[in-house]
A and B are shown apart, each in its own frame.
Chain A
Amino acid sequence: MRALLLRDLRLALRSGGGFGLSLAFFLIVAVLVPLGVGPEGATLARIAPGILWVGALLSCLLSLDRIFALDREDGSLELLATAPIPLEAVAAAKAAAHWLTTGLPLVAAAPLVGVLLNLPGQGTGWLVASLALGTPALSAIGTFGAALTVGLKRGGLLLSLLVLPLYIPTLVFGAEAVARGAAGLPAATPLLLLAGITAGAVALLPFATAAAIRVNLR
Protein backbone atom coordinates (compact mmCIF):
# COMPACT_ATOMS: atom_id res chain seq x y z
CA MET A 1 0.00 0.00 0.00
CA ARG A 2 2.88 2.32 0.84
CA ALA A 3 4.54 1.35 -2.45
CA LEU A 4 1.39 2.32 -4.36
CA LEU A 5 1.13 5.65 -2.54
CA LEU A 6 4.78 6.44 -3.25
CA ARG A 7 4.43 5.44 -6.89
CA ASP A 8 1.37 7.66 -7.36
CA LEU A 9 3.11 10.62 -5.72
CA ARG A 10 6.18 10.07 -7.89
CA LEU A 11 4.02 9.84 -11.01
CA ALA A 12 2.22 13.05 -10.06
CA LEU A 13 5.52 14.89 -9.73
CA ARG A 14 6.95 13.64 -13.05
CA SER A 15 6.17 15.45 -16.28
CA GLY A 16 2.55 15.13 -17.31
CA GLY A 17 1.58 13.96 -13.84
CA GLY A 18 -0.83 16.79 -13.25
CA PHE A 19 0.58 17.95 -9.92
CA GLY A 20 -0.13 21.65 -9.49
CA LEU A 21 -3.06 21.66 -11.89
CA SER A 22 -5.60 21.92 -9.08
CA LEU A 23 -3.57 24.51 -7.22
CA ALA A 24 -3.23 26.62 -10.38
CA PHE A 25 -6.98 26.39 -10.98
CA PHE A 26 -7.69 27.45 -7.39
CA LEU A 27 -5.38 30.46 -7.75
CA ILE A 28 -6.96 31.42 -11.08
CA VAL A 29 -10.43 31.43 -9.49
CA ALA A 30 -9.16 33.57 -6.62
CA VAL A 31 -7.52 36.05 -9.02
CA LEU A 32 -10.41 36.26 -11.50
CA VAL A 33 -13.31 36.62 -9.04
CA PRO A 34 -12.19 40.04 -7.67
CA LEU A 35 -11.68 41.22 -11.26
CA GLY A 36 -15.17 40.09 -12.19
CA VAL A 37 -17.00 41.18 -9.06
CA GLY A 38 -15.24 44.51 -8.64
CA PRO A 39 -12.86 45.90 -6.04
CA GLU A 40 -15.37 46.56 -3.24
CA GLY A 41 -13.82 45.08 -0.15
CA ALA A 42 -17.07 44.53 1.73
CA THR A 43 -18.68 42.57 -1.12
CA LEU A 44 -15.59 40.43 -1.59
CA ALA A 45 -15.32 39.70 2.12
CA ARG A 46 -18.94 38.58 2.18
CA ILE A 47 -18.66 36.17 -0.77
CA ALA A 48 -15.09 35.01 -0.03
CA PRO A 49 -15.98 31.88 2.05
CA GLY A 50 -18.35 30.56 -0.61
CA ILE A 51 -16.04 31.36 -3.53
CA LEU A 52 -13.05 29.78 -1.80
CA TRP A 53 -14.91 26.57 -1.07
CA VAL A 54 -16.47 26.36 -4.54
CA GLY A 55 -13.01 26.95 -6.02
CA ALA A 56 -11.47 24.22 -3.86
CA LEU A 57 -14.25 21.80 -4.79
CA LEU A 58 -13.99 22.45 -8.52
CA SER A 59 -10.21 22.19 -8.53
CA CYS A 60 -10.53 18.83 -6.77
CA LEU A 61 -13.00 17.71 -9.43
CA LEU A 62 -10.54 18.62 -12.18
CA SER A 63 -8.11 15.79 -11.48
CA LEU A 64 -10.55 13.04 -10.48
CA ASP A 65 -10.79 11.22 -13.79
CA ARG A 66 -7.06 10.51 -13.76
CA ILE A 67 -7.22 8.50 -10.54
CA PHE A 68 -8.08 5.15 -12.10
CA ALA A 69 -8.37 5.86 -15.84
CA LEU A 70 -4.60 5.91 -16.44
CA ASP A 71 -4.07 2.66 -14.52
CA ARG A 72 -6.93 1.10 -16.44
CA GLU A 73 -5.48 2.15 -19.80
CA ASP A 74 -2.00 0.75 -19.24
CA GLY A 75 -3.27 -2.44 -17.60
CA SER A 76 -1.90 -1.80 -14.11
CA LEU A 77 -5.37 -1.81 -12.57
CA GLU A 78 -5.92 -5.44 -13.59
CA LEU A 79 -2.49 -6.37 -12.30
CA LEU A 80 -3.19 -4.56 -9.01
CA ALA A 81 -6.46 -6.47 -8.72
CA THR A 82 -4.51 -9.75 -8.85
CA ALA A 83 -1.76 -8.47 -6.50
CA PRO A 84 -1.62 -9.42 -2.81
CA ILE A 85 -2.86 -6.02 -1.59
CA PRO A 86 -6.67 -5.92 -1.25
CA LEU A 87 -8.49 -3.57 -3.61
CA GLU A 88 -9.84 -1.69 -0.58
CA ALA A 89 -6.26 -0.75 0.29
CA VAL A 90 -5.64 0.22 -3.34
CA ALA A 91 -8.69 2.51 -3.15
CA ALA A 92 -7.53 4.06 0.13
CA ALA A 93 -3.99 4.60 -1.21
CA LYS A 94 -5.34 6.19 -4.38
CA ALA A 95 -7.57 8.55 -2.40
CA ALA A 96 -4.65 9.44 -0.11
CA ALA A 97 -2.37 10.14 -3.08
CA HIS A 98 -5.06 12.31 -4.66
CA TRP A 99 -5.46 14.29 -1.44
CA LEU A 100 -1.70 14.77 -1.02
CA THR A 101 -1.37 16.08 -4.58
CA THR A 102 -4.52 18.25 -4.72
CA GLY A 103 -6.09 18.82 -1.29
CA LEU A 104 -2.94 19.47 0.71
CA PRO A 105 -1.55 22.16 -1.67
CA LEU A 106 -4.95 23.91 -1.47
CA VAL A 107 -4.77 23.91 2.33
CA ALA A 108 -1.25 25.31 2.20
CA ALA A 109 -2.19 28.04 -0.28
CA ALA A 110 -5.44 28.97 1.49
CA PRO A 111 -4.09 31.82 3.69
CA LEU A 112 -2.63 33.59 0.65
CA VAL A 113 -5.75 33.05 -1.44
CA GLY A 114 -7.90 34.33 1.42
CA VAL A 115 -6.03 37.65 1.25
CA LEU A 116 -6.71 37.91 -2.49
CA LEU A 117 -10.44 37.72 -1.75
CA ASN A 118 -10.27 40.08 1.25
CA LEU A 119 -11.28 37.36 3.69
CA PRO A 120 -11.27 38.92 7.18
CA GLY A 121 -8.16 37.96 9.10
CA GLN A 122 -10.03 36.09 11.82
CA GLY A 123 -11.51 33.80 9.13
CA THR A 124 -8.14 32.60 7.83
CA GLY A 125 -7.64 30.03 10.57
CA TRP A 126 -11.15 28.66 9.98
CA LEU A 127 -10.52 28.51 6.23
CA VAL A 128 -7.35 26.45 6.71
CA ALA A 129 -9.03 24.22 9.30
CA SER A 130 -12.15 23.64 7.21
CA LEU A 131 -10.14 22.84 4.07
CA ALA A 132 -7.82 20.53 6.01
CA LEU A 133 -10.83 18.69 7.46
CA GLY A 134 -13.03 18.77 4.36
CA THR A 135 -10.77 18.08 1.37
CA PRO A 136 -10.03 14.45 2.39
CA ALA A 137 -13.78 13.81 1.99
CA LEU A 138 -13.62 15.36 -1.50
CA SER A 139 -10.80 12.98 -2.44
CA ALA A 140 -12.52 9.91 -0.98
CA ILE A 141 -15.86 10.67 -2.64
CA GLY A 142 -14.11 11.54 -5.91
CA THR A 143 -12.14 8.27 -5.86
CA PHE A 144 -15.42 6.42 -5.52
CA GLY A 145 -16.86 8.32 -8.49
CA ALA A 146 -13.73 7.60 -10.51
CA ALA A 147 -14.07 3.89 -9.75
CA LEU A 148 -17.72 3.92 -10.89
CA THR A 149 -16.78 5.42 -14.26
CA VAL A 150 -13.44 3.67 -14.80
CA GLY A 151 -14.74 1.44 -17.59
CA LEU A 152 -16.00 4.35 -19.65
CA LYS A 153 -14.01 6.17 -22.26
CA ARG A 154 -14.11 9.92 -21.58
CA GLY A 155 -16.22 9.35 -18.48
CA GLY A 156 -15.35 12.79 -17.11
CA LEU A 157 -18.80 14.31 -17.65
CA LEU A 158 -20.62 11.40 -16.01
CA LEU A 159 -18.08 11.46 -13.19
CA SER A 160 -18.76 15.15 -12.49
CA LEU A 161 -22.52 14.60 -12.53
CA LEU A 162 -22.22 11.65 -10.15
CA VAL A 163 -19.85 13.31 -7.74
CA LEU A 164 -21.21 16.87 -7.54
CA PRO A 165 -24.36 16.02 -5.53
CA LEU A 166 -22.22 14.02 -3.11
CA TYR A 167 -19.96 17.05 -2.66
CA ILE A 168 -22.79 19.36 -1.60
CA PRO A 169 -22.83 18.58 2.17
CA THR A 170 -19.07 19.11 2.34
CA LEU A 171 -19.43 22.43 0.51
CA VAL A 172 -22.31 23.64 2.68
CA PHE A 173 -20.63 22.91 6.01
CA GLY A 174 -17.18 23.99 4.83
CA ALA A 175 -18.36 27.37 3.55
CA GLU A 176 -20.58 27.83 6.62
CA ALA A 177 -17.67 27.23 8.98
CA VAL A 178 -15.53 29.83 7.19
CA ALA A 179 -18.39 32.37 6.98
CA ARG A 180 -19.15 32.06 10.68
CA GLY A 181 -15.49 32.20 11.58
CA ALA A 182 -14.93 35.29 9.46
CA ALA A 183 -17.92 37.01 11.08
CA GLY A 184 -16.59 36.25 14.55
CA LEU A 185 -19.39 33.78 15.33
CA PRO A 186 -18.82 30.34 16.88
CA ALA A 187 -17.98 27.99 13.98
CA ALA A 188 -17.29 24.75 15.80
CA THR A 189 -20.60 23.08 14.85
CA PRO A 190 -20.23 23.16 11.04
CA LEU A 191 -16.58 22.24 11.45
CA LEU A 192 -17.50 19.17 13.52
CA LEU A 193 -20.13 18.13 10.97
CA LEU A 194 -17.48 18.54 8.26
CA ALA A 195 -15.11 16.32 10.23
CA GLY A 196 -17.92 13.79 10.60
CA ILE A 197 -18.50 13.70 6.84
CA THR A 198 -14.78 13.20 6.24
CA ALA A 199 -14.49 10.46 8.86
CA GLY A 200 -17.45 8.62 7.37
CA ALA A 201 -16.28 9.00 3.78
CA VAL A 202 -12.71 7.93 4.50
CA ALA A 203 -13.84 4.94 6.55
CA LEU A 204 -16.59 3.59 4.29
CA LEU A 205 -15.97 4.66 0.71
CA PRO A 206 -12.82 2.57 0.05
CA PHE A 207 -15.05 -0.52 0.33
CA ALA A 208 -17.58 0.90 -2.14
CA THR A 209 -14.72 1.97 -4.41
CA ALA A 210 -13.23 -1.54 -4.41
CA ALA A 211 -16.61 -3.08 -5.18
CA ALA A 212 -17.10 -0.68 -8.11
CA ILE A 213 -13.66 -1.55 -9.50
CA ARG A 214 -14.38 -5.28 -9.27
CA VAL A 215 -17.59 -4.85 -11.26
CA ASN A 216 -15.89 -2.66 -13.85
CA LEU A 217 -12.98 -5.05 -14.36
CA ARG A 218 -15.17 -8.01 -15.26
Chain B
Amino acid sequence: MTPLLAARGLACARGGVLVLEGLDLELAPGAALALRGPNGVGKTTLLRTLAGLQPPAAGTILAAPEAVAYAAHADGLKATLTAAENLGFWAAVHGTDAAGAALAALDLAALADRPAGNLSAGQKRRLGLARLLVTGRPLWLLDEPTVSLDAAAVARFAEVLRGHLARGGAALIATHADLALPEAGVLELAPFRARLRPVTRGDFDAAFG
Protein backbone atom coordinates (compact mmCIF):
# COMPACT_ATOMS: atom_id res chain seq x y z
CA MET B 1 0.00 0.00 0.00
CA THR B 2 1.47 3.39 -0.91
CA PRO B 3 1.97 5.54 2.16
CA LEU B 4 0.01 8.77 2.48
CA LEU B 5 3.09 10.49 3.78
CA ALA B 6 6.76 9.60 3.66
CA ALA B 7 9.73 11.66 4.79
CA ARG B 8 13.39 10.75 4.31
CA GLY B 9 16.34 12.30 6.11
CA LEU B 10 14.17 15.22 7.13
CA ALA B 11 15.65 18.19 8.96
CA CYS B 12 13.55 21.09 10.22
CA ALA B 13 14.62 24.53 11.38
CA ARG B 14 12.88 27.08 13.56
CA GLY B 15 14.02 30.70 13.62
CA GLY B 16 17.12 29.81 11.58
CA VAL B 17 18.22 27.09 14.03
CA LEU B 18 18.04 23.37 13.24
CA VAL B 19 15.83 21.57 15.74
CA LEU B 20 15.37 18.13 14.17
CA GLU B 21 17.52 16.16 11.76
CA GLY B 22 17.81 12.69 10.25
CA LEU B 23 14.13 11.94 10.66
CA ASP B 24 12.50 9.17 8.59
CA LEU B 25 8.82 8.51 8.87
CA GLU B 26 6.06 6.84 6.94
CA LEU B 27 2.29 6.85 7.39
CA ALA B 28 0.15 4.29 5.59
CA PRO B 29 -3.61 4.71 5.19
CA GLY B 30 -5.29 3.72 8.44
CA ALA B 31 -2.22 4.43 10.56
CA ALA B 32 -1.86 6.92 13.39
CA LEU B 33 1.40 8.06 14.88
CA ALA B 34 1.79 10.04 18.09
CA LEU B 35 4.73 12.44 18.25
CA ARG B 36 6.24 12.66 21.69
CA GLY B 37 9.02 14.70 23.12
CA PRO B 38 9.72 17.46 25.63
CA ASN B 39 8.67 21.08 25.00
CA GLY B 40 10.74 22.72 22.30
CA VAL B 41 11.91 19.48 20.71
CA GLY B 42 10.28 20.54 17.42
CA LYS B 43 6.88 18.84 17.27
CA THR B 44 5.10 21.92 15.93
CA THR B 45 7.99 22.71 13.58
CA LEU B 46 7.84 19.18 12.18
CA LEU B 47 4.07 19.40 11.63
CA ARG B 48 4.36 22.83 9.96
CA THR B 49 7.10 21.49 7.69
CA LEU B 50 5.03 18.45 6.74
CA ALA B 51 2.02 20.70 6.11
CA GLY B 52 4.10 22.67 3.61
CA LEU B 53 4.05 25.92 5.59
CA GLN B 54 7.84 26.01 5.74
CA PRO B 55 10.44 24.28 3.58
CA PRO B 56 12.50 21.47 5.12
CA ALA B 57 16.11 22.37 5.91
CA ALA B 58 17.15 19.04 4.38
CA GLY B 59 15.57 15.81 3.20
CA THR B 60 12.49 15.07 1.17
CA ILE B 61 8.78 14.89 1.91
CA LEU B 62 6.51 12.77 -0.26
CA ALA B 63 2.83 13.39 0.26
CA ALA B 64 -0.14 13.13 -2.03
CA PRO B 65 -1.03 16.64 -3.24
CA GLU B 66 -3.85 18.32 -1.33
CA ALA B 67 -3.91 15.46 1.18
CA VAL B 68 -2.98 17.38 4.30
CA ALA B 69 -5.36 18.93 6.82
CA TYR B 70 -3.42 20.80 9.47
CA ALA B 71 -4.84 21.71 12.88
CA ALA B 72 -2.62 24.20 14.66
CA HIS B 73 -2.75 25.53 18.22
CA ALA B 74 -5.02 28.32 16.96
CA ASP B 75 -8.36 27.13 15.63
CA GLY B 76 -8.84 29.80 12.95
CA LEU B 77 -12.28 30.80 14.24
CA LYS B 78 -13.91 34.18 13.74
CA ALA B 79 -15.50 35.37 16.97
CA THR B 80 -18.35 37.24 15.28
CA LEU B 81 -19.42 34.36 13.03
CA THR B 82 -21.57 31.56 14.41
CA ALA B 83 -20.23 28.03 14.80
CA ALA B 84 -22.14 26.91 11.71
CA GLU B 85 -20.90 29.90 9.65
CA ASN B 86 -17.30 29.26 10.68
CA LEU B 87 -17.52 25.63 9.67
CA GLY B 88 -19.55 26.42 6.55
CA PHE B 89 -16.78 28.75 5.38
CA TRP B 90 -14.11 26.03 5.63
CA ALA B 91 -16.46 23.55 3.95
CA ALA B 92 -16.94 26.00 1.06
CA VAL B 93 -13.18 26.62 0.80
CA HIS B 94 -12.57 22.87 0.61
CA GLY B 95 -15.52 22.28 -1.69
CA THR B 96 -17.41 19.91 0.61
CA ASP B 97 -20.78 20.18 2.33
CA ALA B 98 -20.11 18.18 5.46
CA ALA B 99 -20.54 21.04 7.93
CA GLY B 100 -23.73 19.68 9.52
CA ALA B 101 -22.32 16.19 9.96
CA ALA B 102 -19.08 17.58 11.39
CA LEU B 103 -20.99 19.64 13.96
CA ALA B 104 -22.94 16.55 15.02
CA ALA B 105 -19.80 14.39 15.17
CA LEU B 106 -18.25 16.65 17.78
CA ASP B 107 -21.49 17.24 19.68
CA LEU B 108 -21.78 20.88 18.60
CA ALA B 109 -25.19 20.79 16.89
CA ALA B 110 -26.87 22.58 19.80
CA LEU B 111 -24.30 25.39 19.57
CA ALA B 112 -24.51 25.86 15.80
CA ASP B 113 -26.12 29.32 15.99
CA ARG B 114 -23.95 30.70 18.78
CA PRO B 115 -21.19 33.17 17.81
CA ALA B 116 -17.84 31.44 18.14
CA GLY B 117 -16.70 34.24 20.45
CA ASN B 118 -19.25 33.11 23.06
CA LEU B 119 -18.08 29.49 23.12
CA SER B 120 -15.90 28.13 25.91
CA ALA B 121 -12.29 27.19 25.22
CA GLY B 122 -13.16 23.51 24.98
CA GLN B 123 -16.10 24.17 22.67
CA LYS B 124 -13.89 26.31 20.41
CA ARG B 125 -11.36 23.50 20.28
CA ARG B 126 -14.08 21.05 19.30
CA LEU B 127 -15.18 23.44 16.55
CA GLY B 128 -11.56 23.69 15.40
CA LEU B 129 -11.36 19.89 15.26
CA ALA B 130 -14.69 19.67 13.42
CA ARG B 131 -12.97 21.65 10.65
CA LEU B 132 -10.82 18.57 9.96
CA LEU B 133 -13.92 16.62 8.99
CA VAL B 134 -15.13 19.24 6.49
CA THR B 135 -11.77 19.37 4.69
CA GLY B 136 -12.38 15.85 3.36
CA ARG B 137 -8.62 15.29 3.38
CA PRO B 138 -7.04 11.96 4.35
CA LEU B 139 -3.94 13.07 6.25
CA TRP B 140 -4.51 14.91 9.53
CA LEU B 141 -1.61 16.72 11.18
CA LEU B 142 -2.74 17.54 14.70
CA ASP B 143 -0.92 19.84 17.06
CA GLU B 144 -2.00 19.17 20.66
CA PRO B 145 -5.60 18.40 19.64
CA THR B 146 -6.82 17.65 23.16
CA VAL B 147 -5.80 20.92 24.83
CA SER B 148 -8.69 22.26 26.94
CA LEU B 149 -10.94 19.28 26.13
CA ASP B 150 -12.66 17.43 29.00
CA ALA B 151 -12.52 13.66 29.32
CA ALA B 152 -15.81 13.11 27.49
CA ALA B 153 -14.71 15.33 24.59
CA VAL B 154 -11.34 13.55 24.36
CA ALA B 155 -13.18 10.21 24.12
CA ARG B 156 -15.48 11.63 21.46
CA PHE B 157 -12.56 12.97 19.49
CA ALA B 158 -10.78 9.60 19.74
CA GLU B 159 -13.94 8.07 18.27
CA VAL B 160 -13.91 10.59 15.39
CA LEU B 161 -10.23 9.86 14.85
CA ARG B 162 -10.88 6.11 14.82
CA GLY B 163 -13.62 6.61 12.23
CA HIS B 164 -11.22 8.66 10.11
CA LEU B 165 -8.58 5.91 10.26
CA ALA B 166 -11.18 3.27 9.41
CA ARG B 167 -12.05 5.25 6.26
CA GLY B 168 -8.44 4.98 5.13
CA GLY B 169 -7.21 8.24 6.61
CA ALA B 170 -4.05 8.74 8.61
CA ALA B 171 -3.07 11.03 11.46
CA LEU B 172 0.12 12.41 12.91
CA ILE B 173 -0.56 13.73 16.39
CA ALA B 174 1.73 15.81 18.55
CA THR B 175 0.48 15.34 22.07
CA HIS B 176 1.41 15.01 25.71
CA ALA B 177 -1.95 13.57 26.69
CA ASP B 178 -3.05 9.97 26.42
CA LEU B 179 -5.43 9.76 23.46
CA ALA B 180 -6.87 6.35 24.39
CA LEU B 181 -5.86 5.16 20.93
CA PRO B 182 -3.92 1.93 21.57
CA GLU B 183 -3.42 1.22 17.88
CA ALA B 184 -1.44 4.43 17.39
CA GLY B 185 2.30 4.09 17.06
CA VAL B 186 4.60 6.38 19.02
CA LEU B 187 7.50 8.36 17.59
CA GLU B 188 9.85 9.73 20.21
CA LEU B 189 11.43 12.89 18.76
CA ALA B 190 14.20 13.43 21.32
CA PRO B 191 16.74 11.12 19.51
CA PHE B 192 16.39 13.24 16.37
CA ARG B 193 17.16 16.50 18.14
CA ALA B 194 19.74 18.47 16.17
CA ARG B 195 22.95 19.74 17.71
CA LEU B 196 22.42 23.44 18.31
CA ARG B 197 23.77 25.29 15.30
CA PRO B 198 22.45 27.68 12.71
CA VAL B 199 21.12 26.43 9.40
CA THR B 200 23.97 26.18 6.89
CA ARG B 201 21.80 27.54 4.09
CA GLY B 202 23.42 30.98 4.29
CA ASP B 203 21.26 32.86 1.84
CA PHE B 204 19.13 35.89 2.47
CA ASP B 205 16.02 33.78 3.05
CA ALA B 206 17.58 32.24 6.15
CA ALA B 207 16.85 35.48 7.97
CA PHE B 208 13.14 34.75 7.55
CA GLY B 209 13.46 31.04 8.30
Contacts and interface: CB of A to CB of B under 8 A. Distances in A.
A80 B70 contact: no
Chain B CB within 10 Å, residue with most, of A7, A16, A217: A7
A84 B95 contact: yes
Contact of A10 (B54, B70, B85): B85
A71 B205 CA distance: 24
Contacts of B54: 217-218
A79 B128 CA distance: 11
B89 A3 contact: yes
A157 interface: no
Interface string B104-148: 000000000000000000000000000100010000000000000
Contacts of B75: 74-75
A75 B76 contact: yes
Contact of B208 (A4, A79, A218): A218
A74 B93 contact: no
Contacts of A216: 208
Interface in A9-61: 10-11, 14-17
B81 A75 contact: no
Contacts of B205: 215
B81 A10 contact: yes
A82 B78 contact: no
Contacts of A74: 74-79
A32 to B, nearest CB: 31
Contacts of B48: 78
Nearest to B15: A218
A12 to B, nearest CB: 10
A216 B53 CA distance: 10
B89 A82 contact: no
Interface in A89-121: none
Nearest to B78: A11
B8 interface: no
B81 A82 contact: no
B198 interface: no
B160 to A, nearest CB: 18
Interface in B67-98: 68-70, 72-81, 85, 89-90, 92-95
Contacts of B172: none
Contacts of B89: 3-4, 7
Given A7-B89, A74-B76, A79 B81 contact: no
Contact of A78 (B53, B78, B93, B94): B53
A83 interface: yes
A81 interface: yes
Contacts of B94: 83-84
Contacts of A215: 205, 208
A85 interface: yes
A218 B76 contact: no
B163 interface: no
Contacts of A3: 89, 92-93
A79 B80 contact: no
Interface centre among A3, A11, A16, A82, by most B CB within 10 Å? Answer: A82
Contacts of B79: 74
- Nearest 10 CB-CB pairs, A to B? A75-B74, A3-B92, A76-B76, A14-B80, A218-B54, A75-B76, A79-B76, A7-B89, A82-B70, A83-B93
Given A17-B80, A83-B135, A84-B93, 20 more contacts: A7-B78, A7-B81, A7-B85, A7-B89, A10-B85, A74-B76, A74-B77, A74-B78, A78-B53, A79-B131, A82-B53, A82-B68, A82-B70, A83-B90, A83-B93, A84-B95, A85-B93, A217-B53, A218-B53, A218-B209
8 contacts: A2-B92, A75-B75, A78-B53, A78-B70, A79-B131, A82-B69, A215-B205, A216-B208
